Chain A
Amino acid sequence: MIGGHRYPDEPAGPYEPPPITFEDREGRRIEVRAHCGDDAEREALVDMYVAFDPADRAQGIPPSEEGRIRSWLDSILGDPCCNVLAWHGDRVIGHATLVPDDDAYELAIFVLQAYQGAGIGTHLIEALLGHGEREGVEKVWLTVERWNRPAVGLYEKIGFETAGSESFELEMVLRLDGDE
């Protein structure tokens, strides 16, 4: 199931790596930076997930209780992973991550409810893929609930292709030009 995908022959991108700054559709100034691993950043990210609306959970993540959030973050903020954070002032309002899985990476993105629908997701994923290219990532996959049309549309716009439809979810794949 996982890992058996056929990836596109042609790489998507290139994508601009972080840091990037832009104004969202609500006129807010948003900055996307790669996660540098420091504790203050991690705490700001924990705050974002503590505030996260459980209705926007996808396939069981993020978890909803602080202890579980922390142990989940421990597993995805480690060294081989790539993480970018979207900041509004001193607050983290979005997070996108690539987690290694054999020779490929699984992608996920989360944007705080009050910041959704403002074009932040597109910038956040593009910055993540730019960061991934720079780190040598070549194959990226994700799963998305079939009925989540806005998310599927976003992934398609960015360059993902549908690789398969396993039960309730779609699997999508993308190749990066990740030669270092």
Chain B
Amino acid sequence: MTDIVSLLTTRHAYVLFVLLSTIGLYILMADENLVKKIIGLNMFQTGVFLFFVTSAYRVGGSAPVLENGGPYVSPLPQVIVLTAIVVGISLTAVGLALTIRLYNEYGTLRVDALREVIGDE
């Protein structure tokens, strides 16, 4: 029991990363609406970004702007996350364009209705 408590107090941000990724995966799988699936995908991605930023953190450190001395946090995972956020918005935009096109072709945003309609063709 104290093991779980110590896990929660020392690796709390990693626990949050697992929870956020799980909730994002659940939205992606369980919800029938296409737009909500894209929201779930975004939430999964933000969970992974939190993991990267947490791995760079240092208690008592400062932001990696090399002005004052003192210990800095690591700048490299932040670079990865910066690029990944912008790639994530590109992915979201293309997914939403596909959603608009699908709605115009088949008249529905629900995945189960789409499966029936496309299966009939």
A and B from one assembly? no
Using a CB–CB cutoff of 8 Å, the interface residues on chain A facing chain B are none
